[in-house]
A = this chain, B = another copy of it.
Amino acid sequence: MERLKVAFIGAGSAIWSSTIVIDLLINEGLRERGLDIWLMDISDSRLDIIYGFAKRYVEEMKANARVYRTKDRREAIKDADFVINSAMAGGHGYYERMREVSEQYGYYRGINSVEWNMVSDYHTIWGYYQLKLVLDVSRDIEELAPDAWFINVANPVFELSTLIPRKTKVKYIGLCHGHLGFLKAVEVLGIRLAEEKLDEKVNALCAAKDPRGYAAVAKAVDPRELKVEMTGFNHVIWLSKFRYMGEDAYRYFDEWVEKNAEEYWRIWSEHVTSPFDIDLSPAAVNMYKVYGLYPVGDTVRGGTWKYHWDLKTKQRWYGPLGGPDSEIGWAMYLAHLRIRLEELSRAVMDQSTPLVKRYPPRPSGESLVEIVEAIANDNPKESYTLRPPAEGAPPIPVPIQVNVPNKGALPGVPDDVAVEMPVRVDGKGVHRKVLTPLPRKVMSCVILPRMMRMEWALTAFLEGGRDLLVEWLMIDPRTKSTSQAEEAVDAILKLPENDEMAKHFR
């Protein structure tokens, strides 16, 4: 068997890349193949960190792997078997500047934030450079590694997973880990089962993130008896199937909403430390009530402006930090990224402590390397397992979930629009399943509006013209007048970084 060449584009997303490097190096199925890991980034300093990390980790693990660094994207891609993209053109600072300018014209959180995409780094209408970058990467792959699999984890996954297969011939998979949010529905199931079957009241413990709560939940739920299905668009997926021991498990969720939610929120709001801890927030429950299904993972961050008018509104629905996409939550997240990068950097420089001590060789829970292995070794897979949540508990199976053109899998969505769906993966790639249709309310009031914004952003990217940007704001509740929209668009296009973008949208 030939060695596998795996290229990381935007490897300087170092926290994430380090996680995947560990997953690659510890994967049993890949050990025999031998790995050539190519790390590419445009930033020398970030490349230093991840290259230093990977190099040392390989040595410490005595792994059958070689590590290369380059700033030349084409060199990294040439003859690769897998190209993994996590690059974000411009970096966070650039988008924060566009957000700031937007807010001067009355567009809280930026002109990019719209219904069902309030995620602060999911760049669509103002994502010109990002869409262009990933399209360029894809074209390099078409030319230099036509047989490679392109696994893109960079946002906007929905837009990119629609755009790239439409415009190129690369073998494409879009990935996100948001679907792991379904575990919070399982936690609810556990809270109810612990009370019903074991007579243990653990709702308050779980709300306080007390390990005893999780242990009770793990004892109450046998994960092998779970059947879940999550579908929709990336960041807009819904728990369309939730069964336990052969029965509809939504009844437990209904009971929790009725009997436990208020107590949970009272305690949770006093214990919340992460702005991302919103899977069981009032917003999640309200979305469930309005649309009829549990909104999984990042889906909760979306919704209409009803949940997002201002910080106060966000705090009402998402707790004291206002969720990750409030001014509080996002500042915390950006600081957290910097802290973790500094930690990684220091760990790499500190030769006295083995990296494996600080970053133990344990599977991260990400599906990416599971998918790489399934394809590389033609090892059919529909799910993988997470480490058990508590000592002695069985591991939790998680569906392999990807973003690929729908091609008939989800009823009511066009074939060439990317759907996030559970699939089987093997040497031939991705195999779609027959999916549970989403309810009419979700289709009409969520899927269609989100699809419209995606098509709009792609049209603006592909065709240019200032009108499409102004019109984007004409259907925005923050817009009070045409001139407000025009001035916001003009101010954004006048940023020095946006010279090229301004030409495109002239």
| CA gap between A248 and B477 in the complex, in Å | 39
Cβ of A290 to closest chain B Cβ, rounded Å: 4
A459 interface residue, CB < 8 Å from B?
A: yes
Known: A306-B471, A309-B482, A475-B115. A448 touches B452 (CB 8 A): yes
Q: For the complex, what is the distance from the CA of A267 to the CA of B441, rounded to whole Å?
A: 49
The answer for the CA separation of A65 and B73 in the assembled complex, in Å, is 81
Of B309, B471, B479, the residue contacting A481 (CB under 8 A) is: B309
- Tell me the nearest residue of chain B to A414, going by C-beta: B412
Please state if B467 and A444 are interface contacts (CB–CB under 8 Å).
no
Q: Chain B CB within 10 Å — which of A313, A444, A452, A479 has the most?
A: A444
Q: Does A463 lie within 8 Å of B441, measured CB to CB? A: yes
Selected contact of A482 from candidates B306, B451, B452, B463, CB within 8 Å: B306
A289 to B471, CA, bound (A): 13
Partner pick for A289 among B306, B448, B467, CB 8 A cutoff: B467
Residue in B451, B462, B474, B477 whose beta carbon sits within 8 Å of that of A479 in the complex = B477
Minimum CB–CB distance from A471 to chain B (whole Å) comes to 6
Q: Is the CB of A471 within 8 A of B304?
A: yes
Name the one of B309, B467, B475 contacting A477, with C-beta atoms under 8 angstroms. B475
Select from chain B the residue with minimum beta-carbon distance to A451: B448
Distance to closest chain B CB from A288 (angstroms): 11
Closest chain B residue to A458, Cβ basis: B444
> Closest residue to A481 on the B side, CB-wise?
B309
Contact A306 B441, beta carbon cutoff 8 Å: no
Tell me the number of copies of this protein.
2
A475 pairs with B304, CB closer than 8 A:
yes
Q: Which residue of B lies closest to A482 (CB)?
A: B306
Q: Does A305 make an interface contact (CB < 8 A)? A: yes
A468 located at the interface, meaning its Cβ lies under 8 Å from any Cβ of chain B in the complex: yes
- Which residues of A413-450 are within 8 A (CB) of B? 414, 440-441, 443-445, 448-449
- Those of A471-488 within 8 Å (CB) of chain B: 471, 474-482
Would you call A455 an interface residue if the criterion is a C-beta within 8 Å of the partner chain's C-beta atoms? yes
Does A95 sit within 8 A of B, measured CB to CB?
no
Are the C-beta atoms of A444 and B440 separated by less than 8 Å? Answer: no
> A456 at the A/B interface (Cβ < 8 Å)?
yes
Chain B residue nearest to A449 (CB atoms) is B452
Contact of B462 with A445 in the complex, beta carbons under 8 Å? no
- Which chain B residues lie closer than 8 Å to A479 at the CB level? 305, 477
Which B residue sits closest to A480, measured CB to CB? B477
In the complex, the answer to whether A462 meets B440 with C-beta atoms within 8 Å is yes
Question: A482: which B residues are within 8 A, CB to CB?
Answer: 306, 309, 313
Closest to A289 in B: B467
Most buried by B among A412, A448, A463, A481: A448
Residues of B within 8 A of A470 (CB): 306
Asked if B474 and A306 sit within 8 Å, CB to CB, the answer is yes
Chain B residue nearest to A476 (CB atoms) is: B477
What is the distance, in angstroms, from A476's C-beta to the closest C-beta of chain B?
6
Give 15 pairs: A residue, B residue, CB < 8 Å, sorted on A: A115-B474, A289-B467, A304-B474, A305-B475, A412-B414, A440-B462, A441-B459, A441-B463, A444-B459, A445-B459, A448-B455, A448-B456, A452-B452, A477-B477, A477-B479
Binding site for B on A (CB under 8 A): 115, 289-290, 304-306, 309, 313, 412, 414, 440-441, 443-445, 448-449, 451-452, 455-456, 458-459, 462-463, 467-468, 470-471, 474-482
Q: For the complex of A and B, list the 3 residue pairs with the smallest distance between their C-beta atoms, beginning with the closest.
A: A304-B474, A444-B455, A444-B459
